[in-house]
Amino acid sequence: MMPSLRGPVRRYMRPLVRIVMTLLCAALLPAAGNAGTLPAAVGATPMPSLAPMLRGVTPAVVNIASKTVVRERDPFFDDPVFRQFFGLPGAPRERVEQSLGSGVIVDAAKGYVLTNNHVIAGADQITVTLQDGRTLHAAVVGSDPATDIAVLRIPAEHLSALPVADSARLQVGDFVVAVGDPFGLGQTVTSGIVSALGRSGLGDGYQDFIQTDASINPGNSGGALVNLAGQLVGINSMIYSPSGGNVGIGFAIPSNLALQVMRQLIRYGSVRRGSLGVDTQPLTPALAHALNLRAGAEGVVVTRVRAGSAAAQAGLKPGDVIDALNGQPLRTPQDLANLEGLLPVGQSARIGVLRGAQRLQLEAMIEPLRLATADGSSIDPRLAGATLSDLAPGQRPGGLPGVALTRVAPGSRAAASGLRPGDVIVGVNQRRVEGVAGLRALLAAPPRQLLLTVVRDGRGFYIMAE
């Protein structure tokens, strides 16, 4: 039997391995005097780094701090008899709420900053801190709760702006970097990839989100999502988190949508949305059978076509099923509201229609969405200072009808009651509100007390208007 060579081989290999490892470590170690740093290159290959790109990005990403004065309500302190009996001051108690977020300078010459609407909604004071340490007061140019976009303006002195990329060219798998100010710790950079495109169904409003696994945490809202060329591709907006922490599912508003909204906010102060002029409901198997549709058909059923609307001119009829808009498939009324609300006014839209056994392709010109508006004082003096508007299809919280507050004048009765721009009134004295006309009808005989059910940032609560 041949003797085993395993022992001798081990004895000779150990010193050889040590020599090879020593040579490798010597080749990889930095030169003396630079201990603790990575080498600029390994051989002829440079070390990869995002630092050069980020040097041009980070000066354009800002911290946003907002302060809001909130009246604290108490059933006893609100009672004038109670206050008089106990000699309490008549002025309402107040507290100050503070919040932090991020923003992106997109126009250095004019001082325009893009951020999320929820970062600055209802704020009485907004300050912007630049990377160089300067703190500037910001004015709100306009905000759009339906897309969660707001535009601020700061003094345009020695600012740096981010170039904006065409977000329609993004692909799943593209590398992206998120820059913001999470938890108020200071500017922070995280990286990841585009996980998905065109995400919706994450709440109310018009949605076409970029999904990314780059870490987005509280305070990152309104910050920049950039590509590896240092160009803005999205505005970081929200995370999905069962626990409240980052789990690698973040969402950003595409730069194309953000710019489209920004241009309208700068020009008009609000967003002028388009509409086909139809009301719809989900297509159920029972409805599909009743409408003689093929098995497995998907889409939304047209229940009403407004006279003179784009849909009427295109030939849509009640009972038609819309299954696609500009080639995008539709499965729910929310899908239609998203696509419809994001189309520019005046653009032609292709509508895929099922009418019984027929398949039709209709074309309609998107027209401005006409929403009823009213001054609050014309409905009830306790709403003085508020501008009220019907809700657009994509603005309804939880699908509920209601009335949006598009403006609340500082120091007005509406503001003193605690109402803010972006609030949605869904009930009055425990009765549901059906638009401006419905609110006017409910308050035709002014009630003694005006208890409003309000939805703000997805949370419902009561406000007693005085």
Residues 349 and 383 in one domain: no
Does residue 251 fall inside a structural domain?
Answer: yes
Does residue 50 fall inside a structural domain?
Answer: no
Residues 177 and 256 in one domain: yes
Residues 194 and 261 in one domain: yes
Distance of CA 413 to the CA centre of its chain: 29
Q: Tell me whether residue 70 is exposed, middle or buried, using C-beta atoms within 10 angstroms of its C-beta: 0 to 12, 13 to 18, 19 or more.
A: middle
Residues 141 and 207 in one domain: no
Residues 333-368, buried b or exposed e (16+ Cβ, 10 A)?
A: bbbbbbbbbbbeeeeebebbbbbeeeeeebebebbe
- With the C-alpha atoms ordered 271, 275, 280, 283, is the resulting torsion angle positive or negative? negative
Q: Which of 148, 204, 213, 323 is catalytic?
A: 148
- How far apart are alpha carbons 387 and 403 in whole angstroms? 10
Does residue 199 fall inside a structural domain?
Answer: yes
pLDDT of res. 81: 56
Residues 359 and 381 in one domain: no
Phi and psi of 236, rounded to 5°? -60, 135
How is 38-79 classified by DSSP, letter by letter? Answer: --SEETTEEPP-SHHHHHHHGGGEEEEEEEEEEE---TTTT-
**Is the CB of residue 150 less than 8 Å from the CB of residue 182?**
no
Clarify whether 221 is annotated catalytic. Answer: yes
pLDDT of res. 317: 92
Residues 147 and 183 in one domain: no
pLDDT of res. 4: 44
Does residue 31 fall inside a structural domain?
Answer: no
Residues 87 and 175 in one domain: no
Q: What are the counts of helices (DSSP H) followed by strands (DSSP E) for the chain?
A: 10, 30
- How many distinct structural domains can be found in the chain? 4
Residues 185 and 255 in one domain: yes
Residues 242 and 302 in one domain: no
Does residue 46 fall inside a structural domain?
Answer: no
| pTM of this prediction exceeds 0.85 | no
Does residue 48 fall inside a structural domain?
Answer: no
CATH number of the domain that 253 lies in?
A: 2.40.10.10
Of 207, 236, 268, which marks where a domain is finished? 268
**Is the CB of residue 399 less than 8 Å from the CB of residue 430?**
no
How is 294-323 classified by DSSP, letter by letter? Answer: PTT--SEEEEEE-TTSHHHHHT--TT-EEE
pLDDT digits (tens, 9 = 90+) for 274-300: 788 888 888 999 999 899 888 888 999
Of 100, 119, 153, which marks where a domain is finished? 153
- How far apart are alpha carbons 461 and 455 in whole angstroms? 7
Q: Which of 103, 124, 117 is nearest to 146 (CA)?
A: 117
Q: Which of 221, 237, 309, 389 is catalytic?
A: 221
Token representation of residue 380: 């009830």
pLDDT of res. 333: 84
Residues 74 and 131 in one domain: yes
- How far apart are alpha carbons 367 and 370 in whole angstroms? 9
CATH number of the domain that 431 lies in?
A: 2.30.42.10
pLDDT of res. 46: 72
Count the alpha carbons within 13 Å of 426 in the hemisphere toward its beta carbon.
Answer: 19
pLDDT digits (tens, 9 = 90+) for 74-111: 555 555 655 565 555 555 566 666 678 899 999 999 99
* pLDDT beneath 50: ranges in the chain: 1-13, 15-36
Domain that holds residue 385: 373-465
* Residue bearing tokens 């109402």: 419
Q: Which of 118, 204, 323, 335 is catalytic?
A: 118
> One-letter amino acid identity for 397?
P
- How far apart are alpha carbons 88 and 98 in whole angstroms? 27
pLDDT of res. 157: 86
450 forms beta bridges with 465
Q: Which of 68, 172, 74 is nearest to 125 (CA)?
A: 68
pLDDT of res. 194: 93
Does residue 404 fall inside a structural domain?
Answer: yes
Residues 286 and 308 in one domain: yes
Clarify whether 148 is annotated catalytic. Answer: yes
Residues 123 and 174 in one domain: no
